[in-house]
Amino acid sequence: MNTYDYIIVGAGSAGCVLANRLSEDDRTSVLLLEAGGSDRHTFIRMPAAFSLPMNDTRFNWFYSSEPESGLSDRTLACPRGKVLGGSSSINGMVYVRGHPRDFDRWRDSGAEGWSHADVLPYFRKAERALFADDDDPYRGKDGLLTVTRGRRDNPLYDAFLRATEQAGHAQSNDLNGYQQEGFGDLEMTIVNGTRCSTARAYLAPAFQRSNLTVIPHAYVERVAFAGKRATGVHCRRARGSRVDFTARREVLLATGAIGSPQLLLLSGVGPETELSTHQIAPVHLLAGVGQNLMDHLEIYLQQACSIKSVSLNKWLHPVGKAIIGAQWLLTRSGLGSTNHFEVGGFVRSTREVPWPDIQFHFLPAAVAYDGTNPASVGGYQVHVGPMLSPSRGEVRLRSADPSKHPVIRFNYMSHPEDWQVFRSAIRLAREIFAEPAFDKFREAELSPGSSIDSDAKIDAFVRNNAVSAYHPCGTCRMGCSPDAVVDPSCRVYGIENLRVVDASVFPHITNGNLNAPTIMLAEKIADAIKGQQLPAQPEPHYPHPESRRRQRPGSSFTREAK
Closest Cα to residue 441, out of 449, 433, 429? Answer: 433
Minimum CB distance to ligand FAD smaller for 93 or for 201: 93
Q: Exactly one of 263, 301, 335, 478 binds ligand FAD (CB under 6 A); which one?
A: 263
Query: Which residues share a beta bridge with 473?
Result: 294
- Please tell me the distance from the alpha carbon of residue 139 to that of residue 129, in angstroms, as a whole number: 7
Q: Interacting stretch for ligand FAD, rule CB under 6 A, among 37-45, 141-149, 512-520, 548-556?
A: 512-520
Minimum CB distance to ligand FAD smaller for 359 or for 391: 359
- Please tell me the distance from the alpha carbon of residue 320 to that of residue 324, in angstroms, as a whole number: 6
Q: Exactly one of 310, 516, 525, 526 binds ligand FAD (CB under 6 A); which one?
A: 516
Q: How far is the CB of 92 from ligand FAD (least distance, A)?
A: 3
3-state class (DSSP) for residue 187:
strand
Q: How far is the CB of 504 from ligand FAD (least distance, A)?
A: 6
Minimum CB distance to ligand FAD smaller for 12 or for 386: 12
Contacts for 125 with CB less than 8 Å, ≥ 6 apart: 140, 143, 523, 534
Closest Cα to residue 526, out of 202, 189, 209, 82? Answer: 202
- Looking only at the bridges linking them, the beta strands covering 442-447 and 212-215 are unpaired
Contact 126, 145 (CB under 8 A): yes
Q: How far is the CB of 522 from ligand FAD (least distance, A)?
A: 7
Maximal CA-CA distance, the chain: 73
507 binds ligand FAD (CB under 6 A): no
Minimum CB distance to ligand FAD smaller for 262 or for 411: 262
- Please tell me the distance from the alpha carbon of residue 124 to that of residue 135, in angstroms, as a whole number: 12
| Helices (runs of H) and strands (runs of E) counted in the chain | 13, 26
Minimum CB distance to ligand FAD smaller for 87 or for 302: 87
87 binds ligand FAD (CB under 6 A): yes
3-state class (DSSP) for residue 408:
strand
3-state class (DSSP) for residue 533:
coil
Per rule CB under 6 A, count of chain residues that contact ligand FAD: 41
Minimum CB distance to ligand FAD smaller for 219 or for 422: 219
Q: How far is the CB of 15 from ligand FAD (least distance, A)?
A: 6
Neighbours of 372 (CB within 10 A): 9
511 binds ligand FAD (CB under 6 A): no
Q: How far is the CB of 95 from ligand FAD (least distance, A)?
A: 6
79 binds ligand FAD (CB under 6 A): yes
Minimum CB distance to ligand FAD smaller for 31 or for 495: 31
Q: How far is the CB of 296 from ligand FAD (least distance, A)?
A: 9
Q: Interacting stretch for ligand FAD, rule CB under 6 A, among 240-248, 249-257, 372-380, 381-389?
A: 249-257
Q: How far is the CB of 54 from ligand FAD (least distance, A)?
A: 4
In this structure, what is the dihedral angle of CA atoms 350, 354, 355, 360, given to the nearest 10 degrees? -10
338 binds ligand FAD (CB under 6 A): no
For 49-69, b/e burial (b = at least 16 CB within 10 A) is bbbbbbbeeebbbebebbebe
Minimum CB distance to ligand FAD smaller for 87 or for 338: 87
91 binds ligand FAD (CB under 6 A): yes
Contact 262, 397 (CB under 8 A): yes
475 binds ligand FAD (CB under 6 A): no
Residues 41-60, interacting with ligand FAD (CB under 6 A): 54
Contacts for 560 with CB less than 8 Å, ≥ 6 apart: 349, 350, 351, 424
80 binds ligand FAD (CB under 6 A): yes
Q: Interacting stretch for ligand FAD, rule CB under 6 A, among 243-251, 254-262, 381-389, 475-483?
A: 254-262
369 φ, ψ to 5°? Answer: -55, -40
Whether residue 471 lies in the annotated active site: yes
Minimum CB distance to ligand FAD smaller for 357 or for 435: 357
Query: Which residues share a beta bridge with 445?
Result: 303
Q: Which x/- pattern over 433-472 shows residues binding ligand FAD (rule: CB under 6 A)?
A: -------------------------------------xx-
Q: Interacting stretch for ligand FAD, rule CB under 6 A, among 75-83, 386-394, 429-437, 487-495?
A: 75-83
- Please tell me the distance from the alpha carbon of residue 170 to that of residue 347, in angstroms, as a whole number: 9
For 490-518, b/e burial (b = at least 16 CB within 10 A) is bbbbebebbbbbbbbbbbbbbbbbbbbbb
Q: Interacting stretch for ligand FAD, rule CB under 6 A, among 78-86, 307-315, 443-451, 477-485?
A: 78-86
Instruction: Report CA torsion sign: 553, 554, 560, 562.
Output: positive
Closest Cα to residue 552, out of 98, 169, 32? Answer: 169
Q: How far is the CB of 404 from ligand FAD (least distance, A)?
A: 12
425 binds ligand FAD (CB under 6 A): no
Catalytic residue among 116, 169, 296, 471: 471
Cis ω for the linkage preceding 448 (within 30 of 0) = yes
Contact 247, 262 (CB under 8 A): no
Residue nearest ligand FAD, Cβ-based: 12
Query: Which residues share a beta bridge with 222?
Result: 234
Q: Which x/- pattern over 5-44 shows residues binding ligand FAD (rule: CB under 6 A)?
A: ----xxxxxxx-----------------xxxx--------
Q: How far is the CB of 115 from ligand FAD (least distance, A)?
A: 21
Contacts for 204 with CB less than 8 Å, ≥ 6 apart: none
Contact 323, 503 (CB under 8 A): no
89 φ, ψ to 5°? Answer: -90, -10
Amino acid at 187: E
Minimum CB distance to ligand FAD smaller for 168 or for 374: 374
Q: Which x/- pattern over 219-248 shows residues binding ligand FAD (rule: CB under 6 A)?
A: xx----------------------------
Minimum CB distance to ligand FAD smaller for 261 or for 448: 261
88 binds ligand FAD (CB under 6 A): yes
Specify the DSSP element, H or E, that contains 236: strand 229-237
Which are the catalytic amino acids?
Answer: 471
| Residues at the contact surface with ligand FAD, assessed by CB under 6 A | 9-15, 33-36, 54, 79-82, 86-88, 90-94, 219-220, 254-257, 259, 263, 470-471, 502-503, 513-516, 518
